[in-house]
Structure 1
Amino acid sequence: MATQTTTQEGAAIVVGPRTPVLWSKTLGTLIREQAAKHGDKDAIVVPWQSTRMSYRQVEDRSKLVATSLISMGLQHGDAIGVMAGNRVEYVEVFMGAGRIGCPAVVLNNTYSAEELRQALARANCKMLFIATRIGTRSLRGHIAKALGACWPQTDLRHVVCFGDAPNVAEVSIQTYASFLQGLPRPIIEEARLESIEASVLNSDILNLQFTSGTTGMPKAACLTHHNIINNARFVGSAMKLTSDDVVCCPPPLFHCFGLVMGLLASFCYGSSIMFPSDNFSAESTIQAVVQHKATALLGVPTMFISELAVVKEKGYELTTIRTGLAAGAMVPSKLMKDIREQMNIEGMLIAYGMTETSPVTFITSIDDSQEKRFTTIGRVFPHTSAKVVNSRGDALPFGQRGEICTSGFALQKGYWKDEERTKQVMRPDENGVIWMHTGDEGFIGSDGYGRITGRIKDLIIRGGENISPSEIEDRLLEHTSIGESCVVGLEDHKYGEVVACFLSQARGASERPSDANVRSWVSQKLGRVKEPHYIFWVGDPGTGNEIPKTGSGKYQKHLVRRLGNRLVKARRSCSNPKL
């Protein structure tokens, strides 16, 4: 995958290859093509449900969902919401809705009842599919509280439950089985379904993805058939997926990682994708890898950290995984090394992007050197361009840090009914090319490989000096007694901000290191200015039992900062009431 690098009046821009030609097909077309090509081969494997579906069954079941939606009055453009764990019904609903042009609003399965109500209202959902339970968490209260409250004020008219349907007087609720049976609704003729499917364009919205909210209020990114099908195709190409592969996918389907980089990337190449549990379980993931001989493993860094601990603790030997994908957050080089050595994954790749770019724009290659695969985000996708800009928006030369910007086929259509916030991040240049301003700081080398140094909003400004949390996090993870590290800047009256870290003790470590040891460990390699001023350990009073994360496993640094500032104030209050 050759990437062109160009310099225009000192500005460095990288341009991905123009081949292969972008697909113009819709999801419905892809489903029918793959069913004809792969037939009875396993498409979806869900061990925790003891269920599997062939490519032909995906076509049949999605068709049944599509006709059921039509019979209930849904039309092209009507949004449907899905709130559930990784399960076979999720795939059926997403595929079926996409066939008839109904955007699927994938809802974070950690939402509170109020967050669910707000999301349904903001996305104008006409129908909701919801599991009554995800893992050990019951969602019956969500159905009663959220849906009962929003029923009169929103477009929501139907609720379908994966599981028993609770009795809520205000809401029309049915089970998934009764929804599919369709009685006494009218039978949808084949010709009518074909006509509706033919009206769907690849420029139509296929999926509404709420941003993960690591920095505050989430927005709904509008992703088209063209966006995510081509993105999935290029992800699968980078992994060299074939119909012989079994892809293990713990990331959730409500996130682009699980839905696009997992499900659709696998689907584009006739691979089998396996969802080991409805919500993330490191133990279930490793067991599924061994039992089903997975050849590829996906995950965000925190998932791999937990899986590595299980491998070490239980003595698993992983021998079948030839490739994998780490994404969703900064991937420390130490973690990549551990994955290679302890999971025996030689072809581990790193992907970079954001929900608004469908999601991948940069990816490493199996053919890259180990140094490139461990320390960079790779090169840009085909039909994609990238540049780095300063705070004024001026493009910078190769090697200089600034904000990463990308353009090309993967850019979202915009934020759902939010033109103002769309214009804030999607800005045209002097030639009319639209660029997505990612909010990530990094640089691009003259060889076209990108490197991310952190979120611009996450940079710690200590006495006027910019400090990148990611390099401190990487260094902390190299300590054998530290299992997780999250670094943020906390308020300080002298320096403005100081470095703080939230740590968890590594599994198997006999004891956690002292604060002096942690600071010394950091300063040995990075210098004293980057030593953590404050050190917090998971499990101590006030810190909670885990570092705050999104449902997809990324650290919620705005919440971590808030917690840290509160803990510091409490310390000061106890030690000196005058402070």
Structure 2
Amino acid sequence: MSAKDFSALSIVSGPTDEPLWSTTLGALIDTQARHYGDRTAVVFSWQKVSQTYRDLLFRSKLVAKALLESGIRHGDRVGITAGNCLEYIEVFLGAARIGCPVVVLNSTYAPQELLQAVTFSRCKLVCVAQYSEHRTDLAEHLDLLSRGLKTDLQLVLFNGLFDPGSSKLKSTSYNDFVARGECSKLSDIELTKKESLVRAGDTVNLQFTSGTTGSPKAAMLSHINLINNARLVGERLRLNPNEVVCCPPPLFHCFGLVMGFLGSFTNGSSIVFPSPRFDPDLVLDAIEAERCTVLYGVPTMFVAELDANAKRRRNLTSLKTGLASGSPVPQALMNRLEQDMGIQTMLIAYGMTETSPVTFATSFGCPPEHRLDSVGTVFPHTAAKIIDLEGNIVPRGVRGEICTSGYALQQGYLDNEEKTKEAMRMDADGVLWMYTGDEGVIDKDGYCRVTGRIKDMIIRGKHNHLPMPWRQATNSIVSPGGENIVPVEIEERLLAHASIVEASVVGVPDDKYGEEVACFIRQAEKSARLSAVHVADWVRQTLGRHKAPKHVFWIGDAAVGDDFPKTGSGKHQKHVLRGIGARLLRQSKNANAGAVRARL
């Protein structure tokens, strides 16, 4: 195929002129300490503590020795369930030094979910913090671990106390744990020998990608995966030793750990974690106190921060750049961020946990028309393509499933060969591709626009009476005779309304069309409540009639809930919203049927 023909297809490759780093995280810690020494590396403003690059070198060695003194060896897995705290970083770095993969456990897990994740990943030691999402202590979680595990597990408590009673669990405080490293007779030379067993291609991190019920999936990510992706994220943001990043996203998510901490660490910057879990007021306080120049987040976080700042103004003049991931930033929100928070440039990143995580991102050089309506261009040493149902690469401008390849692909799902083979497939040329499950389009200039999750697409058609089971079974990107409706374009239109600050669009069951469009919206405080007719008319002004919401639900109503259901990283849980919408429609239908029977 000629170069001209190839350029007409939806396949792109990033530059390869600058080589990838082939180093371990332990070696990188040493290198960064030599280069940046007393430069502040991390700040946990809520803990009133900070550490320099040299401090992290020293503390990571102590933790590594403490793990060895606790009987943890190369290849053993160390789990962490905690909010954003300094101890999290120290354990992550210390475990990496001696080749112990760190299993990051979602701090919002219910007790049974935590037990399943720890059991599945076969952790030998788990670090636990009492502060966690929506709860003040983890006594129930720890009790279930003590009763549910049949093998020895060591617990290290970042704070709080736990009496293991008659269980096999061995519990110690973090200070006593680190003291093992301080009292260790293991010399630095002997520690270096232990570190020499670690290879850059080894797994350094395990991240669960979709809960732990049924068949849990834990992505295995290597030193090469994380270090290079983090470095390239930082470079696209133009991070340097003069930049100070504010990072509200959680460390148990690749946004906080890789794009956040490691992105800053690999580029010699400082990073600030303002709170153990997201708190918009603490974010704003940290930006003001630490003079942060870059702010990370998802759109829902930015909305909350804008609302909090409107109630109590801070000095945010140091801010100049933002990085968003998870979903697009609507123009209306971008205007507010620029006007109220001083963010002049907002970059957008796209990827998934299994790709370490970033594949595409915008840049400072993006043309204005691509800055917010795309996820930018493909990363170096990475390729991406858009395919149809038969696996053929589609022409530029045609929608299909996004697939990616390159250094950043996960090593596979832990102990799940079947799911690994489903998601990662070799083409005829021997290139391994990750099938993302996202629908997107690549334009003639190589910019990618993500149009949504394939499973979230609304399929509206007269012959589509079983939309959800059919979609789950086929994962198809084209309906068999219905209309494919992409939620994101409707959401963008809704968010352009001055009174709507947050919106999510899902498909709900419909007797005639199989699925119909429903939207959940949150309005600005003190704004008059919009009517469902007005909301539909607003969408119809720029989009087709079939895309106008037939059903409108308001966040704040008792039957809906006070807030959008969200993941720990702030993304809307659309499957939960679909369930809420279906329930409310059933209740309405039953009530109407009852009224008819009463009249008869």
The alignment's TM-score, normalised by the length of structure 2, stands at 0.92
Supply the AA of the counterpart residue of 1:160: V
Deviation digits for residues 245-292 of structure 1, max 9, x if unmatched?
Answer: 110000000000000000001001111100000000111111111121
What is the CA–CA distance in structure 1 between the aligned matches of 2:382 and 2:428, rounded to whole Å? 18
What is the CA–CA distance in structure 2 between the aligned matches of 1:278 and 1:143, rounded to whole Å? 18
Q: Does the 8 A contact of 1:502 with 1:535 survive in 2?
A: yes
TM-aligned CA distance change 1:430 to 1:503, over 3 Å: same
Q: Which residue of 1 aligns with 2:156?
A: 160
Give 1:520's match in structure 2, choosing from 537, 551, 560: 537
Q: CA RMSD in A?
A: 2.0
What is the CA–CA distance in structure 2 between the aligned matches of 1:214 and 1:413, rounded to whole Å? 19
TM-aligned CA distance change 1:523 to 1:209, over 3 Å: same
SS at 1:209 equivalent: strand
Q: Could you tell me how far 1:226 is from its partner in structure 2?
A: 0.2
Supply the AA of the counterpart residue of 1:497: E
Q: Could you tell me how far 1:322 is from its partner in structure 2?
A: 2.0
Q: Does the 8 A contact of 1:213 with 1:556 survive in 2?
A: no
For 1:126-205, what aligned pairs fall within 5 Å after superposition?
126-134=124-132, 137-152=135-150, 154=151, 156-169=152-165, 170=167, 171-182=169-180, 187-205=185-203
Q: Could you tell me how far 1:19 is from its partner in structure 2?
A: 2.3
Deviation larger for 365-374 or 92-101: 365-374
Q: Does the 8 A contact of 2:108 with 2:132 survive in 1?
A: no
Q: Which residue of 1 aligns with 2:505?
A: 487
For 1:207-356, what aligned pairs fall within 5 Å after superposition?
207-213=205-211, 218-356=216-354
What is the CA–CA distance in structure 2 between the aligned matches of 1:80 and 1:343, rounded to whole Å? 39
Structure 1 residue 476 and structure 2 residue 474: aligned? no
TM-aligned CA distance change 1:334 to 1:439, over 3 Å: farther
Q: Unmatched 5+ residue regions in structure 2?
A: 462-481
Q: Which residue of 2 aligns with 1:501?
A: 519
Supply the AA of the counterpart residue of 2:273: F
What is the CA–CA distance in structure 1 between the aligned matches of 2:119 and 2:518, rounded to whole Å? 38
SS at 1:11 equivalent: coil
Q: Does the 8 A contact of 1:250 with 1:258 survive in 2?
A: yes
What is the CA–CA distance in structure 1 between the aligned matches of 2:216 and 2:282, rounded to whole Å? 30
Q: Could you tell me how far 1:441 is from its partner in structure 2?
A: 0.6
Q: Does the 8 A contact of 2:439 with 2:454 survive in 1?
A: yes
Deviation larger for 310-319 or 53-62: 310-319
TM-aligned CA distance change 1:136 to 1:437, over 3 Å: closer
Q: Could you tell me how far 1:184 is from its partner in structure 2?
A: 11
TM-aligned CA distance change 1:216 to 1:468, over 3 Å: farther
What is the CA–CA distance in structure 2 between the aligned matches of 1:228 and 1:10, rounded to whole Å? 32
What is the CA–CA distance in structure 2 between the aligned matches of 1:419 and 1:83, rounded to whole Å? 26
What is the CA–CA distance in structure 2 between the aligned matches of 1:149 and 1:337, rounded to whole Å? 52
Q: Which residue of 2 aligns with 1:23?
A: 21
What is the CA–CA distance in structure 1 between the aligned matches of 2:572 and 2:356, rounded to whole Å? 21
SS at 2:546 equivalent: helix
Q: Does the 8 A contact of 1:70 with 1:188 survive in 2?
A: no
Deviation digits for residues 323-369 of structure 1, max 9, x if unmatched?
Answer: 22100234334333332333221221000000000000101111222
TM-aligned CA distance change 1:125 to 1:317, over 3 Å: same
Deviation digits for residues 413-466 of structure 1, max 9, x if unmatched?
Answer: 001110100110101111010011111111101111101111111110111100
Q: Could you tell me how far 1:217 is from its partner in structure 2?
A: 6.2
Deviation larger for 305-314 or 192-201: 305-314
Q: Which residue of 1 aligns with 2:475?
A: none
Q: Which residue of 2 aligns with 1:530?
A: 547
Q: Which residue of 2 aligns with 1:393?
A: 391
Q: Which residue of 1 aligns with 2:79?
A: 81
SS at 2:346 equivalent: strand
TM-aligned CA distance change 1:247 to 1:398, over 3 Å: same
Deviation digits for residues 174-227 of structure 1, max 9, x if unmatched?
Answer: 100111111898522222210111110010001001115599965211000000
SS at 1:105 equivalent: strand
Q: Which residue of 1 aligns with 2:563?
A: 546
What is the CA–CA distance in structure 2 between the aligned matches of 1:261 and 1:158, rounded to whole Å? 30
Deviation digits for residues 514-535 of structure 1, max 9, x if unmatched?
Answer: 1111111111111321111111
Q: Does the 8 A contact of 2:139 with 2:162 survive in 1?
A: no
Deviation digits for residues 136-190 of structure 1, max 9, x if unmatched?
Answer: 62333244333112221x4x52000011221121121110011111189852222
TM-aligned CA distance change 1:126 to 1:559, over 3 Å: same
TM-aligned CA distance change 1:284 to 1:184, over 3 Å: closer
TM-aligned CA distance change 1:95 to 1:6, over 3 Å: farther
Report the number of matched residues.
573
Q: Does the 8 A contact of 2:516 with 2:550 survive in 1?
A: yes
Deviation digits for residues 371-401 of structure 1, max 9, x if unmatched?
Answer: 2111110101100001100111111111100
What is the CA–CA distance in structure 1 between the aligned matches of 2:529 and 2:350, rounded to whole Å? 33
Q: Does the 8 A contact of 1:6 with 1:12 survive in 2?
A: no
What is the CA–CA distance in structure 1 between the aligned matches of 2:353 and 2:244, rounded to whole Å? 25
Supply the AA of the counterpart residue of 1:241: L
SS at 2:10 equivalent: strand
Q: Which residue of 1 aligns with 2:469?
A: none
SS at 2:542 equivalent: helix
TM-aligned CA distance change 1:31 to 1:142, over 3 Å: farther
Q: Does the 8 A contact of 2:84 with 2:250 survive in 1?
A: yes
Q: Does the 8 A contact of 1:26 with 1:202 survive in 2?
A: yes
What percent identity do the matched residue pairs reach? 50
Q: Does the 8 A contact of 1:215 with 1:558 survive in 2?
A: no
Q: Does the 8 A contact of 1:112 with 1:142 survive in 2?
A: no
Give 1:358's match in structure 2, choosing from 332, 356, 359: 356
Q: Does the 8 A contact of 1:236 with 1:265 survive in 2?
A: yes
Q: Does the 8 A contact of 2:95 with 2:101 survive in 1?
A: yes
Supply the AA of the counterpart residue of 1:551: G
Deviation digits for residues 509-568 of structure 1, max 9, x if unmatched?
Answer: 332211111111111111321111111111212211111110010111111111111111
TM-aligned CA distance change 1:429 to 1:7, over 3 Å: farther
SS at 1:472 equivalent: helix
TM-aligned CA distance change 1:183 to 1:299, over 3 Å: closer
Structure 1 residue 48 and structure 2 residue 46: aligned? yes
Give 1:556's match in structure 2, choosing from 563, 573, 589: 573
What is the CA–CA distance in structure 1 between the aligned matches of 2:334 and 2:218, rounded to whole Å? 31
Q: Which residue of 2 aligns with 1:426?
A: 424
Deviation larger for 274-283 or 527-536: 527-536
What is the CA–CA distance in structure 1 between the aligned matches of 2:322 and 2:20, rounded to whole Å? 24
TM-aligned CA distance change 1:392 to 1:139, over 3 Å: farther
